[in-house]
Amino acid sequence: MNTSNFIVLSPEVQHALDNNLPVVALESTIISHGMPWPQNAITAKSVEDEVRKQGAVPATIAIKEGKCLVGLSSEAIDYFAQAQNVWKVSLRDMPYVIAQKLPGATTVAATMRIAAIAGVKIFATGGIGGVHRGATATMDISADLTEMGQTNVAIVAAGVKSILDIGLTLEYMETLGIPVVTYGQDEFPSFYSSKSGFDSPLRLDSATAISDLLKAKWGMQLDGAVLIANPVPTEFEMGQDAIEQYILNALEAANQQKVKGKEVTPFILKYIADHTKGESLETNIALIKNNARLAAQIAVAHCK
Ligand code: PSU
Ligand code: MN
């Protein structure tokens, strides 16, 4: 396979790609900047197990010593879960972190790009970045969206967190030509909750139907991502009103502490985790495992 000099596939991922076996990409920002130790390492490994149980190969992606790693060892997961100096790497940070040989955890945007270069088409995560509340003034719009407008990877996520402006995020995805498909329900989910108050633009009810949509999109050279919104399982759902108050408090704290740029999303996520006594963390872990399962089922269907 013709991969770039900057990409290193694990033997397991290399073998799977060489033999057209299903592979699911996983991001590392959620490990280094999205959850506390040790739940982050435990979750990263159990997410990989969920992918394996469905008959696919997990490819967790991160950057180390000048290489984009596609497929991490258990030791490497522990490293990214514990090290204090790991960069949060979106697209604009990639060349610097690679050239300076710094350790980097990849966001949705960076993970997608590396996955696409390696030949991995299906990607599971918790939530994507999007258009922030107040973006009409701050212009804080995640590079995840622009990357989704151009790179051919399907992302399974639990919708969009209401730390973002969900309506504007949906509008922006429409502008970029990104199909938004909710799995198994009509309403677009909002991460902690299966509800958001917004209709999903599209709905499909099986992994095979989703794989067919991917084949039609990319077969028609309609480049870019598909967002597959997978609602959090109801037993782990949090009430929309309860979470809204924490989000408002988090946004207020970010504002007061003058948090800016790439620090905004991790700050808000950490604030919510710290102030919900672990309930949000439990929900987060459950939904990412649920996303890994669906992503693996889509990857399996897509290889047929
Ligand atoms: N939203 C979440 N959980 C996350 C992130 C976003 O609910 O872990 C992470 C992802 O890695 C995402 C990144 O790609 O934050 C977006 O950061 P920014 O808004 O700075 O682009
Ligand atoms: Mn931002």
Q: How far from 150 is each of 30, 123, 157, 175, CA to CA, in Å?
A: 23, 15, 18, 12
Q: What pLDDT, on a 0 to 100 scale, did the predictor assign at position 277?
A: 78
Q: What pLDDT, on a 0 to 100 scale, did the predictor assign at position 17?
A: 98
For residue 296, the tally of other CB atoms under 10 A from its CB is: 26
Tell me whether residue 100 is exposed, middle or buried, using C-beta atoms within 10 angstroms of its C-beta: 0 to 12, 13 to 18, 19 or more: exposed
| The ligand 1 atom nearest the CA atom of 143 | 21
Active-site annotation holds for 258: no
Dihedral sign for Cα 107, 117, 299, 212, please: positive
Active-site annotation holds for 161: yes
Beta bridge partners of 183: 204
CA distance 101 to 115: 20
CA distance 60 to 118: 12
Q: Which residues are annotated as a binding site?
A: 88, 108, 140, 142-144
What token pair was written down for 196?
């958001």
Angle at 206 between CA 203 and CA 209, to 5 degrees: 75
Q: What pLDDT, on a 0 to 100 scale, did the predictor assign at position 278?
A: 83
How far does the centroid of ligand 2 lie from the alpha carbon of residue 18, in Å? 36
Out of 29, 35, 161, give the residue to mutate to test ligand 1, the one with the largest number of ligand atoms within 8 Å of its CB. 29
Catalytic residue among 64, 121, 161, 262: 161
Q: Could you give the residue ranges of the DSSP H alpha helices within the chain?
A: 11-18, 29-32, 39-53, 74-82, 94-99, 108-118, 135-138, 143-148, 166-175, 207-219, 240-256, 264-275, 279-302
Decide: 149 and 177 in contact? Cβ < 8 Å. Answer: yes
How far does the centroid of ligand 1 lie from the alpha carbon of residue 18, in Å? 31
Ligand nearest to the CA of 266: 1
Q: What is the pLDDT of residues 106-121, one digit of tens each?
A: 999 999 999 999 999 9
- Write the residue with the smallest CA distance to atom 8 of ligand 1: 30
Q: What is the pLDDT of residues 132-173, one digit of tens each?
A: 999 999 999 999 999 999 999 999 999 999 899 999 999 999
What token pair was written down for 72?
């991490």
Output the ligand 1 site: residues, CB below 6 A. Answer: 27, 29-30, 34, 90, 107-108, 126-127, 129, 142-144, 161, 191, 262, 265, 269
Q: What pLDDT, on a 0 to 100 scale, did the predictor assign at position 3?
A: 59
How far does the centroid of ligand 1 lie from the alpha carbon of residue 19, in Å? 32
Residue ranges and CATH numbers for the domains of the chain are 3-303 (3.40.1790.10)
Out of 31, 40, 86, 107, give the residue to mutate to test ligand 1, the one with the largest number of ligand atoms within 8 Å of its CB. 107
How far does the centroid of ligand 2 lie from the alpha carbon of residue 264, in Å? 7
Q: What pLDDT, on a 0 to 100 scale, did the predictor assign at position 162?
A: 87
Residues of the chain with pLDDT under 50: 1-2
